[in-house]
Amino acid sequence: MDYNKIRGAAMAYYANLSDEEQRKAWEFFKSIDTDGNGTISRREYSRSLAKMGYPDTQNAFKMLDKNGDGALDFKECITLFYIITVHNGGVFCDGCGINLWDIYFVCVGCYMAGGNTYDLCCDCYRTKNFNHQNAVFCDNFKLLRSMQPTATTASASREIAKKAIEVGQLGINAINLLNSANGIAHTANAQSDDCTIM
Ligand SMILES: [Zn+2]
Ligand SMILES: [Zn+2]
């Protein structure tokens, strides 16, 4: 698995954090470096992952250890910080189990239903290495784009919310309404035809 992309994203994310948030990354690093020698050993890494409730999967440590010296320095740990705090450990292929950090396929039905998603790497999707009945798959980039409300649905949602305020309902109801209106728009968009033709 190529970690260069997730590493690049982690560095970009970190560069845009406030001083306060960057300090959290440093504290994260120090909490794993239990002997305080300035690097995270394989052992410290495994223990911390177990404590945080994440599986010590495959070659993740090797991939994080960019310079291959057998330990993670702070810079290498930023990628781990990003994977855990932003991505909750990341997404795994439901066919072969690899970490998905690039383009991959998502079951639209499971995604829309909330809860667990069903995701496949391109190889598993191509070779049909999965058993997921009557599923419509869409790649993650396409799915992200299809989530964007169209100008019409967005303004329709705003109109509904505005009306609710006008008839004297509480603002919070309007927000709920706005959210549910957006939800309807999202569902309609993501199940549009161009998503099913892969
Ligand atoms: Zn796979
Ligand atoms: Zn599904």
What is the 171 CA–ligand 2 centroid distance (Å)?
35
Measured from the alpha carbon of residue 102, the closest ligand is 1
E-strand spans in 13-104? Answer: 40-41, 71-72, 91-92, 99-100
Residue of 71, 195, 58 lying closest to 138 (CA atoms): 195
Q: What is the dihedral of CA 51, 53, 8, 28, to 10 degrees?
A: -30
Measured from the alpha carbon of residue 105, the closest ligand is 1
What is the 21 CA–ligand 2 centroid distance (Å)?
36
What is the 90 CA–ligand 1 centroid distance (Å)?
14
Task: Tell me the residues surrounding ligand 1 (ion) with CB < 5 Å.
Answer: 93, 95-96, 121, 124
- Provide the residue-wise pLDDT of the chain in tens; the chain has 198 residues: 678 889 999 999 999 999 999 999 999 999 999 999 999 999 999 999 999 998 886 578 988 999 999 999 999 999 999 999 999 888 999 999 988 989 999 999 999 999 899 999 999 999 999 999 989 999 999 999 998 888 777 777 777 667 666 665 444 444 454 455 555 444 444 444 444 434
Reported pTM:
0.72
What is the 98 CA–ligand 1 centroid distance (Å)?
6
